[in-house]
Chain A
Amino acid sequence: MKGTQSMHRPQKLGPRATQAAAFAALWAAAALVLLPVAAILGVMFVRGGRAISWEMLSSAEDGLLPAIVGTVTLVALTAVIAAPLGIAAAVYLREYAPRGPLVRLIRLAIVNLAGVPSVVYGLFGLAVFVTLLGFGRCLLAGACTLALLALPLVITASEEALRQVPERLRAASFALGATRWQTVRRIVLPNALPGIITGLILSVGRAAGETAPILFTAAFIALTKPFPSSVLDPIEALPFRLYYMATEAHGITEDAKWATAAVLVGLVLTINLVAVITRARLRGARRW
């Protein structure tokens, strides 16, 4: 091998030094992501927390109560619509579908549904639920639109939960003379339920924060009847209210804007936290 002469050649940075620099860059990248998150949460709860008052939360006139109630009923109805469809689709994919091109096509469709822009869902909701089916701009139309948006999430989470149930339990059930549906209903679904519920909660959290799909299908501001009495009534919703308050500048205090933002973020974070805790708890409790 060529010699070890110590000629003074201009040295490239040695590998150790390169590594140190690269790792420093990676740490910087991590910080660049971590700090904004901390900042967002911080400013949200400090600035927002300062601005929240009980009066603001509970007033039906210009407080947040109608929006809170609207969002809650909206996502509840969304879950009611999306759950049976999504769980059934997951059951089909995991328990019934024969291997082959059809399943691949369905999965591709699910991936695509998950990637459809939320405003396009809004357009679809407008064309189909509001206009074609004649619901008008109301809770039902909004919930149907959001259910479509939530569907891929529910299907994916449910399928994962079904997959966690060990195959041998199904085999034991079949060997006792059970049909496929009996096995699904008595063994697979009950044991997959925790994961399915966690998935539902997560999709509810997602739906709670969406604005574009309900822009032209459900949400309004300053309704004469602030609380819906039927599914065909229009509603207020937190995310829409936040948008409205942030962009229509007159007459709305900074405090009010921050409070609304903080309530929305708090709601969404709480829902997700519930899902995470549920998942951890139930994973610990399972034994088989």
Chain B
Amino acid sequence: MGLPGMDSELIVKPEGEVKIETSGLGLFYGEFQALRDVSVTIAARQITALIGPSGCSKTSFLRCLNRMNDLISGARVVGEVLLDGRDIYHEATDVAVLRKRVGMVFQTPNPFPMSIYDNVAYGPRLHGRCSRSELDEIVEKSLRAAALWEEAKDKLRKSALDLSGGQQQRLSIARVLAVEPEVLLMDEPCSALDPTATFRIEELMIELMTRYTIVIVTHNMYQASRVSHYAGFFLLGELVEYGPTEQIFENPKDQRTDDYVRGRFG
């Protein structure tokens, strides 16, 4: 159970540049342990999928990567999370800057009750960019990158709440892109969307991958196998197996992984 190195053949270290590395990561909500000794390496500019049955551990893990769990009172983290080699849980870390570098897209689209323009400009304004021309440029760039520009360019001043679900989710992505992160954490980004919208977001992810490291939590195994390069299987707070996607889905080493991907439970 959880001694590092013991299950090392179940946890494969990806080749190439490492963006995020966790070491012995554990998460407690009060007395309850939600994550147990998770040690994993996330490759830069690749898509990593986290799969597993319903329960909080995948999302909890994701939220450890940008310290969103800090907002939950009683939440406590042990172990290390290294972003480009530096521990983000170190005391000296500026959490606001961290969250700028590691952006997050939530499960349900969550636009602010403001105009489309203001939603996308929110992040840059926070970090000091105020000039109109600068913001115009950033907004357009972000909306284009999120494949929303064509649909939104004529109604930038209109309320973001008037957009459809799929558009709102792309808006959330644009909003995150506007702060120019290095990592994108996506927590079941398509679960609230219809198949067409889902497809567009998946295409978007593949485009974005060339510039951003993407970690996505998903229930949808087909989605995971379609878009990701690496996949990790979480079960009851433990990372059971992690490796290249084809291996996880077609030739898993652990029986539990095999049971899950074949649909025998979860």
Residues of A bordering B, CB below 8 Å? 98-99, 168-169, 171-179, 182, 186-187, 191, 286-288
Candidates A172, A178, A287, A288; contact of B106 at CB < 8 Å = A172
Q: Is A186 within 8 A of B122, CB to CB? A: yes
Candidates B106, B122, B123, B127; contact of A168 at CB < 8 Å = B106
Q: Is A174 within 8 A of B71, CB to CB? A: yes
In the complex, whether B36 has a CB less than 8 A from a CB of chain A is no
Q: Is B71 within 8 A of A177, CB to CB? A: no
Which residues does chain B contribute within 8 Å of A168, judged by CB atoms?
106, 108, 110
Closest Cβ of chain B: how far from A165's Cβ, in Å? 10
Closest Cβ of chain B: how far from A142's Cβ, in Å? 40
Q: Is A182 within 8 A of B126, CB to CB? A: yes
In the complex, whether B45 has a CB less than 8 A from a CB of chain A is no
In the complex, whether B176 has a CB less than 8 A from a CB of chain A is yes
In the complex, whether B97 has a CB less than 8 A from a CB of chain A is yes
Q: Is B99 within 8 A of A288, CB to CB? A: no
Which residues does chain A contribute within 8 Å of B71, judged by CB atoms?
171, 174
Q: Is B113 within 8 A of A177, CB to CB? A: no
Which residues does chain A contribute within 8 Å of B172, judged by CB atoms?
172
Docked pose: A212 CA to B127 CA in angstroms: 51
In the complex, whether B26 has a CB less than 8 A from a CB of chain A is no
Q: Is A175 within 8 A of B66, CB to CB? A: yes
Residues of B bordering A, CB below 8 Å? 66, 68, 71, 73, 96-100, 103-104, 106, 108, 110, 112-113, 122-123, 126-127, 161, 172, 175-176, 179
Docked pose: A182 CA to B126 CA in angstroms: 7
Which residues does chain B contribute within 8 Å of A175, judged by CB atoms?
66, 68, 99, 103-104, 106, 176
Docked pose: A171 CA to B70 CA in angstroms: 11
Q: Is A176 within 8 A of B175, CB to CB? A: yes
Docked pose: A288 CA to B66 CA in angstroms: 26
Docked pose: A117 CA to B217 CA in angstroms: 58
Main secondary structure of the interface of B (DSSP, over half): helix
Q: Is B108 within 8 A of A177, CB to CB? A: no
Candidates B73, B100, B113, B126; contact of A288 at CB < 8 Å = B113
Which residues does chain A contribute within 8 Å of B112, judged by CB atoms?
169, 172-173, 187
Which residues does chain B contribute within 8 Å of A187, judged by CB atoms?
112
Residue of B nearest to A176 (CB): B123
Given A168-B106, A287-B161: A176 and B122 within 8 A (CB)?
A: yes
Which residues does chain A contribute within 8 Å of B73, judged by CB atoms?
98-99
Q: Is B122 within 8 A of A177, CB to CB? A: no
Closest Cβ of chain B: how far from A183's Cβ, in Å? 9
Docked pose: A286 CA to B122 CA in angstroms: 20
Residue of A nearest to B178 (CB): A176
Residue of A nearest to B162 (CB): A287
Q: Is A178 within 8 A of B126, CB to CB? A: yes
A-B contact pairs, 30 of them (CB 8 A): A98-B73, A168-B106, A168-B110, A169-B110, A169-B112, A171-B71, A171-B106, A171-B110, A172-B106, A172-B172, A172-B175, A173-B112, A174-B71, A174-B99, A175-B66, A175-B68, A175-B103, A175-B104, A175-B106, A175-B176, A176-B99, A176-B123, A176-B126, A176-B176, A177-B96, A177-B99, A177-B123, A177-B127, A178-B96, A179-B96
Closest Cβ of chain B: how far from A145's Cβ, in Å? 38
Residue of A nearest to B107 (CB): A168
Q: Is A176 within 8 A of B179, CB to CB? A: yes
Closest Cβ of chain A: how far from B186's Cβ, in Å? 11
Q: Is A174 within 8 A of B68, CB to CB? A: yes
Residue of B nearest to A165 (CB): B113
Closest Cβ of chain A: how far from B179's Cβ, in Å? 6
